Copies of this chain bind each other. A is one copy, B any other.
Amino acid sequence: MAKDQKKQPRPRAETPKGFRDYFGADVTERKAMLDRIAEIYHRHGFDPLETSAVETVEALGKFLPDVDRPNAGVFAWQEEAVPGGGSGDWLALRYDLTAPLARVAAQFRNDLPTPYRRYAMGPVWRNEKPGPGRFRQFYQCDADTVGSASVAADAEICAMLADALEAVGIARGDYVVRINSRKVLSGVLDAAAIRPDQADEVLRQIDKFDKVGREGVLALLTTGRKDDSGAVIEGVGLTGAQAAPVLAFLTSKGADNTATLDNLRGAVGGSAIGAEGVDELAQIAAMLSAMGVAEDRAVIDPSVVRGLGYYTGPVFEAELTFEILDEKGRRRQFGSVAGGGRYDGLVERFTGQKVPATGVSIGVDRLLAALRSRGLAGTEAQGPVVVTVMDRDRMADYQAMAADLRAAGIRAEVYLGNPKNFGNQLKYADRRGAPVAVIQGADEAARGVVQVKDLVLGARIAAEASHEEWKAQPAQTEVPRADLVAEVRRILG
């Protein structure tokens, strides 16, 4: 047996490529952020939904354009077909939280309230090539209203998003929720007499507005342009007269919502769908105002183009407006942390019935990164008080000390490694981020006292103090055992 075991190579202790583990503060900081968001969603009447991580490939849908490999992009496997057991179905890990919502909305349509407001927070999986900062399992945080065609649902989501950002600590003025409308764009395309077969191409070029700006999009919509490398990119072939209303739409943001809406009314001309879109944006603006959400928090802004092709009505995006330094040390706006909009056909695949829905997804990792960059995610020093072990026969005494501290609500632990080398115990306390170490040798035990060492102050003294000050060791005090909790409390402040 032993020989056989020797021959087997040891397994590699590694996460699969593209996967990662979260330790300590990684977990608690994200959890604190999501808890605050959940509290806001709850207060708005949204209920939590936690679907299974595994769905049938059939229910998820063939969501990727690659028809030859319908399951590319998901982690999928086939169940064994055994009587009474596996079904032979193809199963897969969910790739987002919207596809499972669609399945739930169809499966439980007779049991769920209509409209159904739900939020969901959890991991999703993508079978994609991993890269720096790109993982194959990551968190999403969604809120959607299913079954309401009213733009009141959209307005509510925008207001809720603004509240959620403030709840996690983003200051008013450091974010803005921008709102646009697919219908207005459709109206503009109508007004510009753009042929239906050109519409998709126009949408694709508009999507580059953020990157190439007004002149760039104008060129792309008409005769084409050269990119930075000198390569020629063909244009859509619109006339300048056709491109003009599209550009007017993209740049129609005025000094306030009223001005923007006036500009949009001009841009859509006589288009009915366009007028409907502008009217919806006007309603949203009025409702946000009624909810006390001023334009510095959520504003009509037709330059928001991401997702315009995907959504069917209002589209929204939350941006953080403060600057950070990018990896090259350049100042740039933090940018988008959430996006969403109105979409149709969520449940239609399953039931044949159109069910209107609108929702938003917060980029959990990006928002957490933003909080960290602003010093807003750090929970206070979370290291435990470490009770050191001078005499291994008196573990019960040390555990009693830790228990006393815990009973007072103080995080505390006894050192459980080999106690022989006391230096290792202090190194351990350091690695644990311990604010305080408690020490009691035989001598102290006999006298009924403990040494309480302020490790934070100790580290500062070690870094700054003179030899004399160092020797004075003000960071360590001796107190009666009965005063242990009080002394630790004093140090922790």
Using a CB–CB cutoff of 8 Å, the interface residues on chain A facing chain B are 10-17, 19-24, 26-28, 31, 42-45, 47-56, 58-59, 61, 75-77, 79, 84-87, 89, 91, 93, 100, 103-104, 106-108, 113-115, 117, 123, 125, 127, 129, 136-137, 145, 147-148, 150, 152-153, 155-156, 159, 163, 283, 286-287, 289-292, 349-352, 382, 384, 386, 392, 395-397, 399-400, 402-403, 406-407, 409-414, 416-417, 428, 431-432
Contact = CB atoms under 8 A, between A and B. Distances in A.
B403 A19 contact: no
A10 B349 contact: yes
A396 B155 CA distance: 10
Contacts of A31: 48
A44 B406 contact: yes
B75 A76 contact: no
Nearest to A159: B403
B152 A395 contact: yes
Contacts of A431: 113
Contact of A56 (B16, B106, B145, B403): B16
B156 A414 contact: yes
Contacts of A44: 384, 406, 411-413
A42 B386 CA distance: 13
Given A290-B397, A428-B114, A13 B107 contact: yes
A5 to B, nearest CB: 10
Contacts of A10: 349-352
Given A43-B406, A77-B75, A107-B14, A148 B416 contact: yes
Q: Copies per complex?
A: 2
B291 A400 contact: yes
A425 B127 CA distance: 44
A139 to B, nearest CB: 10
Contacts of A11: 56, 58-59, 61, 349-350
A155 to B, nearest CB: 7
A111 B67 CA distance: 45
Contacts of A407: 292
A81 B58 CA distance: 25
A408 B17 CA distance: 48
A52 B20 contact: yes
B28 A50 contact: no
A394 to B, nearest CB: 9
B152 A416 contact: yes
Contacts of A79: 16
A84 B384 CA distance: 43
Nearest to A46: B413
Contact of A53 (B76, B106, B137): B137
Given A10-B349, A59-B14, A395-B283, A52 B416 contact: no
Nearest to A89: B16
A393 to B, nearest CB: 10
Given A42-B411, A114-B428, A54 B137 contact: yes
A15 to B, nearest CB: 5
Given A147-B417, A156-B414, 10 more contacts: A14-B59, A22-B49, A24-B48, A31-B48, A93-B93, A152-B399, A155-B399, A289-B396, A291-B402, A292-B403
Nearest to A347: B13
A47 B117 CA distance: 34
A13 B106 contact: yes
Nearest to A59: B11
Contacts of A13: 59, 103-104, 106-107, 350-351
